[in-house]
Structure formats: C-alpha cells, structure tokens
A and B are shown apart, each in its own frame.
Chain A
Amino acid sequence: MTGFRTLLVKELLRFWKVSVQTVGAPVLTALLYLVIFAQALEGRVEAYPGVRYTAFLVPGLVMMSVLQNAFANSSSSLIQSKITGNIVFLLLAPLSTLEVFAAYVLAAMARGLVVAAGMFAVTVWFVGLPLVAPLWVLAFCLLGAALAGALGLLAGVYADKIDQLAAVQNFVIMPLTFLSGVFYSIHALPPRWQQVSHANPFFYMVDGFRYGFFGVSDFPPGASLAIVAASFVAVAALGLWLLKTGYKLRT
C-alpha cells in the first residue's frame, strides 16, 4: 500500500505544486465562458423551462472542466515522465499494474474535483443554483473524472511526443466536451444532430450531472450513469491491460 500511496501523493503534489496553472487557470477560463455566454445569451435562450441560462450553463462548464483537467493530469504526467525518462523510477519499482493505474486515475480525479470545487466556490456568489439530487451530482462527477483520467492514461501511454498528445486533446477531447451539451440542451438540435450527440460519451456525463441540480435532463439519468460506468470499465480494462503488457513503457 505504501508504494501506491507514494505514487498517489507524488501525482497529487505534481499538480498541486503548480496549482496556479493546473487549477487557477481552468477556473478562470470557465469563468470567462460563463461571463461571455451569460452576457450574450441570458434571457434569449431557455434550455429548460424556468431555468435561467446562466444557471443551466454552470454545471455544464464545471463538468467540461472536470473532464478536461482529469484528462490533462494523467496524460501530461505520463508523457512528461516518458519524454524526460524519469518513468524509469516507476518501472523499476515493485508496484503492481493496478496500483499504478489507480494512483494516476485517482490523482486525475482529484484535480478534476478541485477545479470543480473552485468553480462552484467562485460562481455561487452570482449564480443561484438549485441542488435537487446531490448524490447524482457526486456520482457523475466522480465517474466522469475517473473516465477522463483513465482516458488520459491511455493517451499518455500511447503518445510518444507532446504534439501527439496535443492532437488528441485538441481534436478529440475538446470537440467531444464542447459538443456534449455544455452550452445547449440537445433537444434544441435538429433530430440528426441529437442522434450524433448520443454517440458522445461526454454528453451523458454532462446531462446526468446537470440532472442532479435541476431534476431535469435530456436523457434518463440512470441510463446515463450506466453508460458512463460501462465506458469507464471498458477504458479501465484497456488501460490495465496496456500497463500489464508494458505497451510502449517496457521494450
């Protein structure tokens, strides 16, 4: 357990030591979105009946930040260790595959949750947000962060260079999070695009997370949670298998 705990603490310290960049910056970015979109669209768009657009937007932005930051944490840590070569210290250590996987994913989740907490702490002062089902909020937040952290681990193991990782981040993670219904209810989309949105796993996280606040969602939250959980199990299985085989880590 000491080995696992050490790796977890190391990964937590890694982002905490540069928290201005890893926590402060994403909170600020999300706030900018909030200010700009709220200014432009408040009163013009009503995603859910009786819900102000700013209130609608906050959970979406929080979930988007959770996903992006959890992904960034595990992927950037791994790629940096690979490029600088210090991953060797981990590879020489008697840690099991599961310990390594769990430490990276839990640290990624922690960063996602800290960013989420930061965003709520800042927005709570000027956006009134109901909280209908806090357990749903927590479940989606944890599971979403875990899935994104595990995806980050896959990307970090797979990528050989920073630009490959940046490509995954910019061409996969960013579009999927932006198009997951953060800024709109997918019911406002044409039927075809609604269907396309259903193929996006991030949609279920945003939608389910939002359900916890308003008690309203585009998709049944239980089904969303099942889809997110199944996605996590699949990604985790792949990640554990890659670590076990030593893919791209042990020659």
Chain B
Amino acid sequence: MRALDGVSLAIEQGEFFGLLGPNGAGKTTLINVIAGLARADRGAARVLGADVVSDYRRARRLLGVVPQELVFDPFFTVRETLRIQSGYFGLASNDAWIDEVMHHLDLEAKADVNMRALSGGMKRRVLVAQALVHKPPVIVLDEPTAGVDVELRQGLWQFVQRLNRDGHTIVLTTHYLEEAESQCRRIAMLKAGKVVALDTTQNLLATFSGLELQVRGRDGALSRLKLHGYDELEAALERLRRDGVPLHDIELHTPDLEEVFLHLTGKAS
C-alpha cells in the first residue's frame, strides 16, 4: 500500500500551516517521515535544510513533535519527564525553560506528580511541553486537541499562537476544520496520500465556495442565490426587491472549510 504518493510541498519558515485530510489520507505518515519515525521508500524530507535521514541529528534538533497518541513513561514525574527529554536533546540544565513551559501550559501544580496520576488533558499538556523542551524552531502538532476539553484547547491555541508570533513555524494536523480555519494561514489537503489542495486558507475559501444568500419568502419557499463576493450582495437584494419577492427571512451563508474539504475529497452532496 502506498501511504503517500508524490507529495511535494514546502512550508515556509514562520508559517502556521495546516495539514488536513480524512482519516487514512496520510497526514500522520507525512509527519512521521518528517520526524524520522517512518522512512520514505523514495524522496526526501528536510527541516530548515537539514535532511531527516543523512543529517538526522540537526533535523531532530530543529523539530518538536507532539505525537497524536497519548503516550507517557509511567516511571517518572512531569518534571523528570521534561528533564529527561531535555537531556536527550543535549541540554543538561534546562530548568528555567522547563519552568516557563510548565507555567504557560498550567502544569506547575503537577510538576512532581507521577505521569500515571495525570488526567488525559494533563498528559496532553505534558506531550506539548516535551515537544518544546529544546525550543525547536519548527513545531509539529499531530491532532493536538483530540479528546481535549474546551479550556485546554483555548489555552493551547493561545500558547501556540504566541510561539508562532515569536517566529516558530507551526505545522498542525487536525480534522476539526473550524480549528484549521481559525488558526492556519495556509493549508494543504491530503486525500489518499496525494495533495489535492495547497493554498492560503483565504484563497481556498474563496475559490471553492462563494457566498450563498438564502431567502425565505412569506410562503415559506426557500431560494438560494450564489454570490461571488460581498459586493454582489446589494445588487442581489435589489433584484429581489424589483422582482417583488416577499421576504420573510434572509440568511447569508459564508463559506467554510468543511465545504471546501467535502468538495475536494469528493464527498460533497
């Protein structure tokens, strides 16, 4: 089976990039190739110029990955976990930064608690912290909010946005489309291992689905008008008035990624 097929894309430094696709599209495989967890039969992946196979040490130092699965080492506390992860990256004394990361992820109270005793949401925060111990310029978040409560989701996005503003490149995979829409500036959509769309979020929304004006008459009949932009709205309303359509309710339906996504992955109704 071919998990990835001719995928070629370049994520710019400092970008907030989204990787979307249905389950099994190859998102995690692509992440794993970049992280060195999987080996591509052909082709190459580079992190800020460092080849992930031939220059793996540099590539891994430049990359912080938050894995999708909620994994942890039950032998250690939160602080020990973060110290060990720092050590793996060659950082012998990293406590100041560990404290800062714990502070931002609201983990301070759990610093000396064994990983086993943490809730799922807390474990997820530790995973994020582990990915950040070596201050990687590129951060990959693989489905970071799966099974996470609203509060953490908010906090997590604030923190990630801040990292992005500070110059970190963020790569996000998710199948929560509204999340990608609100966070990512540019998006690649994968389907069956292929890139089916690669553009800015704005362009994707504009290209694949315009505005839709939904008008309900007094008799309850619903008519839909496709618009190419907001500037056509006035003309459309004018036309309705001229035609003497009795208006009961109007609704302006703005495009969302879900439509783009369904359109591209061939599931549009």
**Which residues of A in the span 1-31 have a Cβ within 8 Å of any Cβ on B?**
2-3, 5-7, 9-10, 13-14, 17
Confirm or deny: B84 has a beta carbon within 8 angstroms of a beta carbon on chain A.
Answer: yes
Contacts A2-B87, A88-B71, A94-B61; A251 near B37 (Cβ below 8 A): yes
Number of A-B contacts (CB under 8 A): 76
Confirm or deny: B201 has a beta carbon within 8 angstroms of a beta carbon on chain A.
Answer: no
Residue from A10, A84, A91 with most neighbouring chain B CB atoms (10 Å)? A10
CA of A123 to CA of B35 in the docked complex: distance in angstroms?
Answer: 51
Contact with A along B61-88 (1 / 0, CB 8 A): 1010101010111111000000011111
Question: Chain B residues with Cβ under 8 A from A6's Cβ?
Answer: 84, 86-88
Confirm or deny: A86 has a beta carbon within 8 angstroms of a beta carbon on chain B.
Answer: yes
Contacts A84-B74, A88-B71, A89-B73; A250 near B60 (Cβ below 8 A): no
Confirm or deny: B165 has a beta carbon within 8 angstroms of a beta carbon on chain A.
Answer: no
In angstroms, how far is the closest chain B Cβ from the Cβ of A190? 48
With CB as the reference atom, state the residue of chain A lying closest to B61.
A94
B60 touches A94 (CB 8 A): yes
Confirm or deny: A246 has a beta carbon within 8 angstroms of a beta carbon on chain B.
Answer: yes
Confirm or deny: A196 has a beta carbon within 8 angstroms of a beta carbon on chain B.
Answer: no
B58, B67, B87: the one contacting A88 at CB < 8 Å is B67
With CB as the reference atom, state the residue of chain B lying closest to A99.
B88
Number of A positions contacting B (CB below 8 A): 26
CA of A251 to CA of B1 in the docked complex: distance in angstroms?
Answer: 13
Question: Chain A residues with Cβ under 8 A from B38's Cβ?
Answer: 250-251
B39 touches A94 (CB 8 A): no
Question: Chain A residues with Cβ under 8 A from B85's Cβ?
Answer: 89, 93
Residue from B36, B38, B73, B92 with most neighbouring chain A CB atoms (10 Å)? B73
CA of A88 to CA of B69 in the docked complex: distance in angstroms?
Answer: 10
List 8 interface pairs A-B (beta carbons < 8 Å), by A numbering. Answer: A2-B92, A6-B88, A85-B71, A89-B73, A93-B85, A94-B61, A250-B37, A251-B32
